[in-house]
Amino acid sequence: MGESRRYLGLGILAKSQKEPAVTLFQVVRRQNEGMALGFVAARILEAGMIYTGVVSLHSLVTLRQPGATGADAASLVTTGESLVATYNWTFLLGQSLTPALNALLLGTLMYRSGLVPRVLPLLGLIGAPLLIASVFATLLGLIEQTNPLAALPALPIFVWELSLGIYLIVKGFKPSPITAGMVAAGATPSNRDVAV
């Protein structure tokens, strides 16, 4: 039962990837629509990779149940190792590399637009190259995926995403030419810009 809760949590994490991107797209597209669309696409890709990892773990749990399959033990081991490898790769690419790409895209948009204090996007812009270097070091076999050195570069990205979310909840966007046109029309960004 505990494993199922963990996998459900990963599924919720995957679902939560796309909503903030779509919401922020309505505002940051005024800064650079191509980069904003790239951010949304990268978040959707990240969610898809997380879902792929969750499905591989659910499949692994199914294989562990007695009587779940009539296959011999050797083929079950091979299949299980394949599912674990799928999860490891989706974790490395989906939950390590794409957050760094997201930080580069959104950090650049936020830094250029001035919608938040510049120190916040700088956290993402500094952390992203560190995390990308860590991912490539793992891909090249220079460090293990479970090595603390591989996880350490994720800390600035974590602080960036957390601080951006808290800042936007508490303070909202800073006044900017990007948001001025949205407010001047007398409608909130969420219902003015959505096509029905």
Average pLDDT, the chain: 80
- If we measure between CA atoms, which residue out of 75, 65, 59 comes closest to residue 7? 59
Which pTM was predicted? 0.75
Q: Which residue has the higher pLDDT, 74 or 109?
A: 109
Q: Is 191 exposed, middle or buried (0-12, 13-18, 19+ CB in 10 A)?
A: exposed
Q: Is 11 exposed, middle or buried (0-12, 13-18, 19+ CB in 10 A)?
A: middle
Beta carbons of 10 and 95 less than 8 angstroms apart: no
* Spatial separation of the C-alpha atoms in residues 194 and 22, rounded to whole Å: 11
Structure tokens at 192: 């003015």
Task: Return the number of other C-beta atoms located less than 10 Å from residue 155's C-beta.
Answer: 13
pLDDT of residue 79: 82
Statement: residue 193 has pLDDT above 70: no
pLDDT of residue 24: 79
Residue 65 Cα to chain centre, angstroms: 32
Q: Which residue has the higher pLDDT, 151 or 105?
A: 105
Q: What is the pLDDT of residues 20-78, one digit of tens each?
A: 777 778 778 888 889 989 998 988 888 888 888 888 888 888 877 776 666 677 777 88
